Chain A
Amino acid sequence: MRNVLAIAGREVRTYFTSPLAYVVIGVFLLLSGYIFWASLVRFSELCLRFASNPYFSSQLNVNDMVVRPLFGTMGIIFLLLLPVVTMRLLAEERRAGTAELLFTSPVTSAQVVLGKYFGAACLLLVMIGVTLTYPILISNSGAAPDMKPTFVGYLGVLLMGLALLAIGLFFSSLTDNQVVAAVSAFGAFLMLWVIDWMSSSATVTLAALMNSLSLGLWEKAGLGTGGPTLGDLLGSLSIIGHLNDFRKGLLDAQHVIFYVSVIFMALFVTQRVLESRRWR
């Protein structure tokens, strides 16, 4: 644990002594702040317009109209920004030769992976933490959001960010070129975003797919025909799709489990990649 903290601490120090952290956080705050402001303005405008109509004004809800779009925006910005955060983590160590220090020290590759990951997670926490000011800013006004669903939304955004960081770290372990690491992480993030766009049209069931792949053996073995479609499978892989319930303020275990397993898988594979140096 001590090694993990030492590596994570050095990582955080590096983020905040270079302009990188400030640029990333600044861009993130600018974009999410703008979206927050824009939806707040729209919300208050609607409130004014329908003030005389009790039915419509009862339909207006600050959580739905301001907080929810904010989390959606954050998710999209993460897709674009987090590759920049993760690209240097391992790639730079290799390029600069400092990997030689890290891997000849009595630390395990798992400790290196966790240290790097926690370091990046700290930056993410700061990014998200600062935006907590948005709901707090309006909490004393007439448009005070309901805090419980807001925090659930924050939890969702945090989990998604952590999952993206783990995937990005994995791509950083594959190369010694930061740009390659960033571009491939970015590609993976986008793929995980758009993967459910065809979920409604891919109506072939998984059972049918397996049946044709196994030349009819699937059916003969009586493994069933119905069940989920390919679209269902793709839909449940969408990294942003799992954020939707969080944004609504619903805390559902399946989404938490999805993010946690993505994090675990990505970190595990990263550790294997580092470990593979020992037999390559």
Chain B
Amino acid sequence: MLEVSDISKIYGTRTVVDRVSFSVPKGQILGFLGPNGAGKTTTMRIITGYVPPTSGTAKVAGFDVQEQPLEVKRRIGYLPEHPPLYPEMLVRPYLEFTARIRGVPRRQLKARTDRALERCGLQAVSGRLIGVLSKGYQQRVGLAQAILHEPDLLILDEPTVGLDPTQIREIRSLIKSFAGEHTVILSTHILAEVTMTCHRVMIINEGRIAAEDTLEALAARGGGGRVLVRFARPADGIAAALKALPGIASVETQDAQDGGLVVSQRPGQDAREEIAALAVGRGWGLLEMRPITRSLEEIFIDIIRGETVGGAAPEVQPSAAPAAPGNGGGAA
């Protein structure tokens, strides 16, 4: 659906986007994650054709953004960082205007507007002046404007900024409902947003792609197949007994937690069942067993800090090194 190859944007001497390439298949939700000023907005603006790239190409449904801008623009819905609203207009006329310039056929104008109003929960305010609406409602009007012509590709720049928690949840479920028929790219600097809505994550930092993966694979990077087990009656030699099990690479005692052991599994193997069986057989009294995963926050910060080129580098993390499962690009 969307193919971005080798896009760069240079303002004077400042490289804002540096040879970014990625593609999004139809129906997926891609999360664009990065600190503020990482180049997320610029990349999105290039895809929409608002800003030309210094080099590289972006293609939407096979149409080049620079060569056939109108064809591309027909297929996208775009919610910029600041919703593009005319404060002096009423909500409904505003949406009808955007529908018109977005090329919605005259006969469908009313139906599409109604549908967008309904999907974004705007019926109650459809006759109000946009300028007097709260930030949350304005954001929803911006979203309604982006979805109203049922675009193939929906580009949302920080769609939940300035909303309260309930509204955020509504917007997220709304975005999720687009998956399947529409392709969605959304940018954010809030991790939870990605975890809740996206199929795939792209972490972008200082204009470069720092990592690109599915959520599970990204989360697995933090885990590295390590399991924490805790027993009620740990006997002597417990570590050696565990280590003897197939699929276990190493066992270390965790002094911080009483009776806790950190078991590292061999890549691609899951020995939890055997551990449980062994514990029951020996009567150690298994209290707890859980995989150790670092939160996405930690992974994110590691990736941003790591700042090494390409997607492979973040795997070489000291703690996860011994047993990192093969979760490179192939896992996606």
In the complex, which residues 6-47 of chain A have their Cβ closer than 8 Å to any Cβ of chain B? 6-7, 9-10, 13-14, 17-18
Produce 1/0 per residue, B43-60, CB < 8 A to A.
001001111100000000
Q: Please tell me the number of chain B residues within 8 Å of chain A, measured between CB atoms.
A: 31
Q: Are B84 and A101 in contact (CB under 8 A)?
A: yes
Known: A105-B73, A280-B52. Is A3-B100 also a contact (CB below 8 A)? yes
Among B80, B88, B98, contact of A105 (Cβ-Cβ < 8 Å): B98
Q: Residue of B at shortest CB range from A97?
A: B82
Known: A101-B78, A105-B101. 7 other contacts (CB 8 A): A6-B100, A6-B101, A18-B88, A104-B49, A105-B98, A106-B71, A278-B66
Minimum distance in angstroms from B120 CB to a CB of chain A = 16
Q: Are A97 and B84 in contact (CB under 8 A)?
A: yes
Minimum distance in angstroms from B157 CB to a CB of chain A = 10
Chain A residues with Cβ below 8 Å from B49 are 103-104, 278
Compute how far the CA of A103 lies from the CA of B73 in the bound complex, rounded to whole angstroms: 9
In the complex, which residues 60-108 of chain B have their Cβ closer than 8 Å to any Cβ of chain A? 66, 69-71, 73-74, 76, 78, 80, 82-89, 93, 97-98, 100-103
Q: Are B101 and A107 in contact (CB under 8 A)?
A: yes
Chain A residues with Cβ below 8 Å from B103 are 105-106
Known: A6-B97, A97-B82. Is A104-B52 also a contact (CB below 8 A)? no
Among B88, B89, B101, contact of A102 (Cβ-Cβ < 8 Å): B101
Q: Are A10 and B97 in contact (CB under 8 A)?
A: yes
Chain B residues with Cβ below 8 Å from A96 are 84-87
Q: Are B98 and A101 in contact (CB under 8 A)?
A: yes
Q: Are A13 and B89 in contact (CB under 8 A)?
A: yes
Query: Which B residues have a C-beta under 8 Å from some C-beta of A?
Result: 45, 48-52, 66, 69-71, 73-74, 76, 78, 80, 82-89, 93, 97-98, 100-103, 145
Query: Which A residues have a C-beta under 8 Å from some C-beta of B?
Result: 2-3, 6-7, 9-10, 13-14, 17-18, 96-108, 277-280
Which secondary structure dominates chain A's binding surface? helix
Q: Residue of A at shortest CB range from B105?
A: A2
15 chain-A/chain-B pairs, Cβ below 8 angstroms: A9-B97, A13-B89, A14-B89, A97-B82, A97-B83, A100-B80, A101-B98, A101-B145, A102-B84, A104-B49, A106-B74, A106-B103, A107-B101, A279-B52, A280-B52
Q: Are B102 and A100 in contact (CB under 8 A)?
A: no
Q: Are B85 and A106 in contact (CB under 8 A)?
A: no
Q: Are B70 and A108 in contact (CB under 8 A)?
A: yes
Chain B residues with Cβ below 8 Å from A17 are 88-89
Compute how far the CA of A98 lies from the CA of B98 in the bound complex, rounded to whole angstroms: 11
Q: Residue of B at shortest CB range from A103?
A: B50
Chain A residues with Cβ below 8 Å from B80 are 97, 100-101
Chain B residues with Cβ below 8 Å from A18 are 88
Minimum distance in angstroms from A95 CB to a CB of chain B = 11
Among A2, A14, A98, contact of B84 (Cβ-Cβ < 8 Å): A98
Minimum distance in angstroms from A275 CB to a CB of chain B = 11
